[in-house]
Structure 1
Amino acid sequence: MNDSFGDFNATQTATAGAASNQKGEGIVPLVIKQIVDAPEGNIELFGMQYAMACVVAIVRNIETSSTKITYTLEDHSGRMDAHYWLEEGDALKAPEVMLNNYVKVYGTTRSQGGQKTLMVFKLLPVLDPNEVCTHLLEALNARYRAEDYQNKGGSSGVAPSGTGSISDFTASQSSAIVSGLDPKQQAVFQAIKSNVSEEGISRKELKAKFSHISDSELTNIVDFMISEGHIYSSIDADHFICTM
């Protein structure tokens, strides 16, 4: 096993090429060096594509303009900028962040001027120092699970595992009823939530449970709940786990 933390060179070129054409899903905990060293425009581990990254880092600088706030983030592995875009009238809604304090950032990556930046989706202050250690352990676990999955012959493209950190987006939602879901979506959500296996419920099992729902409609329901952060894919694109 390659013990170089955040080293993506172990991914074979053919695997990475196949993965680049697929849409990533889920959120993966990373350190800054992993994002900076990742292939252009991608968030990936060993060829596995993810939709969003989670980083825990110290805020070293804050620059505010009329359209965005730029945070300079630093962890033990490096530095990078993160942009929080403001809409008109949103200046007062900006995250309450203090210099030289830890934050947890969720976002997507983009290259600007030859440098990787993080487009912030959500930014939260870290109030418990244990979160810093927990994040590093989650990042290590995600890295080695992705490598192990690839070594065992897993297909590349979609994230093999998610992270419990996604629950930060849904903490205000009820554990029984999720607002914004229609009856069919709610039923599928409950079926996914009630599954206790480590790999989650499979698409095949969902089709068997909801034979009255067409394949296309079931796919739309699953895609919608992934986009809303209610569920995420686990070992492949056809297994799902609830984030709550």
Structure 2
Amino acid sequence: MLDHSIITDISNNGGFVNDDNKGSTAKKKQQVRRVQNVVPLFISHILDCTDEEFNLCGMPVQIASVVGVLRNFEVQTTKATCIIEDNSASIKAIMWLEVDNESVTPALPPVKENCYVRVFGSIRNQDDEKILMILKMLPVDDLNLITNHLLEIVQTKLYAERLAEGRLPTSDVSMASTSTTTDNSEGLKPIQVRIINLLKPIKTKSGLSRSEILQHFGPQAREAEVALDFLLDEGHVYTTVDTDHYKATDAD
């Protein structure tokens, strides 16, 4: 889980939904929350896309996952800026910071400049330049993750190309999963851990539907539904064939 609260509801203007408008935007925020998917990409894929809304071979992408070297990491009062560089290209990235109520020092992810990081972010156009708005950034402690990321990119692009050519039914398309640590040491609630453990062994491309998940919780179904939305916001689960089917990002 994140050391600082960063994955929230993303507004259409490239920022974050203002909590002051919760009453008028609650329904919209609920819809936005459930359409986030995570797609592994090369940075060149982002830069080469000329469409206003980023897509991969016509397939919409809500959250990009990139692995690269962290360069020029500069921390300011409310945000951090950096360059993420992989073997294909480099891109400017911005991460908004949250300051603890008891401290004036912003909470930062445990990353180091000139080391590999894994970044989850949304893609924005700013002054005719593509920017990666960081939702989550993690250090890469195992170099096998880099190889795995490359394989995920190849697999996802093949699916997108086949879909664009009409050679693959939409129902067979699933975003390649992305790995995040989901053990109890991160402070997840027991019901959140139960949902993750329920999804981890699922091997089908579609995963489990919301109703299939909730039926395991009986009278706790409402609490489980809130927990499922939280896990989706935090990147522990992701949507697959539609907005009501889920898989764990850290699948077995």
Give the shorter-chain TM-score range.
0.5 to 0.7
CA spacing shift, 1:35–1:202, aligned 2, 3 Å = same
- Over 3 Å counting, the alpha-carbon distance change for 1:161 and 1:97 in structure 2 is closer
Residue from 125, 129, 148 that aligns with 1:134: 148
What is the aligned counterpart of 1:69 among 80, 95, 102? 80
- C-alpha spacing 1:154/1:104, structure 2 compared with 1 (3 Å): same
Tell me the TM-score normalized by structure 2. Answer: 0.66
Corresponding residue for residue 146 of structure 1: 160
* Distance change in 2, residues 1:195/1:36 (3 Å): same
Q: Is the 8 A contact 2:174 2:205 kept in 1?
A: no
Q: Which moved more, 1:196-205 or 1:93-102?
A: 196-205
Q: Alpha carbons of 1:25 and 1:52: their partners in 2 closer, same or farther (altered >3 Å)?
A: same
Residues 154 and 217 of structure 1, relative CA distance in 2, 3 Å threshold: farther
**1:106 counterpart SS class:** strand
1:94 aligned residue (95, 100, 108): 108
Task: Give the whole-Å Cα distance in 2 for the aligned partners of 1:93 and 1:40.
Answer: 32
Q: Which residue number in structure 2 is paired with residue 107 of structure 1?
A: 121
- Structure 2 CA distance for aligned equivalents of residues 224 and 96 of structure 1: 23
Q: Distance in 2 between matches of 1:234 and 1:86?
A: 30
CA distance in structure 2 between the aligned counterparts of 1:188 and 1:102, rounded to whole angstroms: 30
Q: Classify 1:59/1:186 alpha carbon distance in 2 versus 1 (closer, same or farther; 3 Å).
A: closer
- Once residues 111 and 242 of structure 2 are traced to their aligned partners in structure 1, the CA distance between those partners, rounded to angstroms, is 36
The 3 A distance-change label for structure 1 pair 153 and 204 is farther
Is 1:179–2:189 an aligned residue pair?
yes
Contact map agreement 1:25 1:49 (CA 8 A) in 2:
no
Q: 1:84 to 1:191 in 2, by over 3 A?
A: closer
Please state if 1:40 is matched with 2:55.
no
Structure 2: 5+ residue runs without aligned partners? 1-31
> Given that residues 184 and 193 in structure 2 are in contact (C-alpha distance below 8 angstroms), is that contact kept between their aligned partners in structure 1?
no
1:163: how far off?
0.9
Secondary structure in structure 2 of the residue aligned to 1:111? strand
- How many angstroms does 1:120 deviate by? 1.2
User: In the aligned structure 2, how far is the partner of 1:186 from the partner of 1:93?
Assistant: 25
Q: Which runs of 5 or more structure 1 residues have no equivalent in the other structure?
A: 1-21
Percent of aligned pairs with the same residue? 33
Matches within 5 A, 1:231-242: 231-242=237-248
CA contact (8 A) 1:162 1:232 kept: no
Letter in 1 for 2:167: K
Residue 232 of structure 2: aligned partner: 226
Find the aligned partners of 1:221 and 1:95 in 2 and give their Cα distance: 24
Are 1:24 and 1:49, in contact at CA under 8 Å, matched by a contact in 2? no
Counterparts of 1:146-225 in structure 2, within 5 Å, are 146-150=160-164, 151-155=166-170, 160-165=174-179, 167-168=180-181, 170-172=182-184, 179=189, 181=191, 192=199, 195-202=202-209, 209=215, 223=229, 225=231
Say which of 50, 60, 73 aligns to 1:49: 60
Indicate how the Cα distance of structure 1 residues 236 and 152 shifts in structure 2: closer, same or farther if over 3 A, else same: farther
Total equivalences in the alignment:
213
Give the conservation status (yes or no) of the 8 Å contact 2:43–2:86: yes
Deviates more, 1:90-99 or 1:75-84: 90-99
Q: Give the TM-score, by structure 1 length.
A: 0.67
Paired with 1:96 and 1:221, the residues of 2 have a C-alpha distance of 26
Q: Deviations over 1:155-201 (max 9, x none)?
A: 49xx7324132x33x34469xx95174xxx88876664564434323
